[in-house]
Amino acid sequence: MAPEYALEGLFSIKSDVYSFGILMLEIASGKKNSHGFYHPERAQSFLSYVWQLWNEGKGMELIDQTIVDTCPISEVLRLIHIALLCVQEDPNDRPTMSRVILMLAGKSIHLPQPSTPPTSVGRLMICDQFSTIGT
């Protein structure tokens, strides 16, 4: 769920864009974004894990191995790039849904560099999960 909704109860059309971005990342990676996702080697949430690999130029490591032979890698990397634009922390920095559709359909559309997505929501959810286990 979009951080502005999770933390402040604010909802807008950009909240849906955020959710769509998460869905695209789940499809591309074959991993679920949930408070149960935890990368033990890196102590990270799903979104921070995706961002770190992308930022390090290791986008190929994000791709679900079951789709590698059936999809052009460049298209999956483009999908990940667009998804990261959708999950930016500031809703004003996220594209509109119509812009997302244009980006997905048009290979010649320039994609701006995404900013760091929110990571505090993932940590908050993990902390909340552990704090309720013992009660």
Q: Is residue 39 part of a domain?
A: yes
More confident residue, 25 or 115: 25
Greatest CA span in the chain, whole angstroms? 54
Residue 5: pLDDT band by 50, 70, 90 thresholds? low
In a domain, 73, yes or no: yes
Digit-coded pLDDT (tens) for 23-68: 999 999 999 887 545 555 555 788 888 999 999 999 999 999 999 8
pLDDT digits (tens, 9 = 90+) for 67-114: 988 999 999 999 999 999 999 989 999 999 999 999 999 888 889 999
Calculate the CA 99 to chain-centre distance: 17
Residue 106: what pLDDT?
87
More confident residue, 79 or 7: 79
Tell me the residue range of the domain where 36 lies. 3-105
Domain count, the chain: 1
Residue 133 lies in a domain: no
CA dihedral 74, 119, 8, 103 (to 10 degrees): -10
Residue 119: per-residue pLDDT: 62
Q: Identify whether 119 is part of a domain.
A: no
Q: Which two tokens stand for residue 99?
A: 């812009």
Q: In b/e form, how buried is each residue of 18-39, taking b as 16+ CB within 10 angstroms?
A: bbbbbebbbebbebebebebee
133, pLDDT greater than 70: no
Length of the chain: 135
Q: Which residues pair with 44 in a beta bridge?
A: 39
- Is 36 among the domain residues? yes
Give the domain CATH number at 52: 1.10.510.10
